[in-house]
Amino acid sequence: MTIVGPIENYRTVGVWFEDYGKQWAGRAEDLSSRLDILRRFCEFVGKDPDAIIQECLRSSEGQTKISIRGRRFYDEKIREFQGGVEGDARLKVHWGNTIRSFLIHNGIFLQSGVQLG
């Protein structure tokens, strides 16, 4: 699935921006500079942002829950994506954590573990 139109028009990108802004109130950075990283990740996995979040969720007895399988899949994909970034360790971490931030602020609980460059 390819990205149709501007990536910031996707609902989950809006949720990311809004929740990030709320959480880091007064200290939030401009995420628009990170949209290109998200776009590249979407290309990497062949999914649009909404589809990525959707795959990390599942419905059970009328409740939305995190899909362990989906989260695990994207956790691995982020590591793979991060590992393929051309640049130093700091840059790799920045790219990987940008995607993690997108997932986290969409309610997908995820941890990166310590990544000492």
Partner 1 sequence: MEFKEVIGRRRSIRFFQPYRPVEREKIQIILEAARLASCSVNATFLRAIVVERDKLPRETLDALKTPVSATNLEMAPVHIYFYGDMGTVPRAKGQTLRQLVDVGALSPSHGWSHQFVENMVWPAILQPLYGNPATAGVPVAFDCGVAVCQALLAAFDEGLGACLSAFNIGIAKKVFNVPDDWLAIFALLVGYPAESWEAGGQRPRPPFEELYFEGGYGTPFVRDENVVSKLREARMIQAPAPLPWRWDEIRALARAFGLPE
Paired residues of 64 in beta bridges: 59
What stretch of H or E contains 59?
strand 57-60
Instruction: State which of residues 2, 4, 5, 25 lies at the interface with partner 1 (CB under 8 A).
Output: 25
Spatial distance between the Cα atoms of 20 and 31, rounded to a whole number of angstroms:
9
Q: What is the DSSP letter of 68?
A: H
Binding string, 68-97, against partner 1, x = CB under 8 A? Answer: ---x---------------------x---x
Q: Which two tokens stand for residue 21?
A: 């802004």
Give the nearest distance from C-beta 106 to partner 1 in angstroms. Answer: 12
Asked if 24 interacts with partner 1 (CB under 8 A), we say: yes
Give the range of 2-10, 41-49, 54-62, 101-109 binding partner 1 by CB under 8 A: 101-109
